[in-house]
């Protein structure tokens, strides 16, 4: 778990320094750790512009709460896992 937190912190620093815009982001953190919610908070307009796709896997029993700008494109279940594909659209370009 300490290594996971370190990896997230390191990734966050790289994101801040690199100022890279992503077309797709994959989120599949260890379940039942609270890391998914923290990862979602790190995704902001400076790295994920409108049109960016976000693929998320999480435990089925966890009701995922996402910002309004996440628009569900597709979702399904496999065993105890829910997988979903979202498109970020803040509505500012409409």
Q: Residue 66: which CATH number?
A: 3.40.50.150
**Domain span including residue 66:** 2-88
- Is residue 93 assigned to a domain? no
- Is residue 64 assigned to a domain? yes
- Is residue 43 assigned to a domain? yes
pLDDT along the chain (94 residues), means of 10: 62 61 89 86 82 93 88 95 94 61
Where do we find the tokens 């599949």? 28
The one-character DSSP state at 8 is: H
Q: How many residues are listed for the chain in this entry?
A: 94
Per residue in 78-90, pLDDT (tens digit) is 999 999 999 999 8
- The number of domains in the chain is 1
- Is residue 39 assigned to a domain? yes
Question: Hey, what are 89's tokens?
Answer: 């659209």
**Predicted local distance difference test score (pLDDT) of residue 24:** 93
- Is residue 10 assigned to a domain? yes
Question: Hey, what are 1's tokens?
Answer: 């778990």
């Amino acid at each position: 778990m300490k290594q996971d937190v370190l990896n997230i912190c390191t990734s966050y620093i790289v994101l801040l320094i690199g100022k890279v815009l992503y077309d797709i982001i994959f989120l599949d953190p260890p379940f039942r750790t609270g890391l998914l919610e923290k990862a979602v908070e790190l995704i902001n307009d400076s790295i994920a512009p409108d049109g960016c796709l976000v693929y998320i896997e999480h435990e089925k029993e966890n009701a995922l709460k996402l910002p309004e700008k996440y628009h569900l494109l597709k979702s399904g279940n496999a065993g105890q896992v829910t997988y979903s594909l979202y498109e970020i659209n803040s509505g500012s370009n409409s």
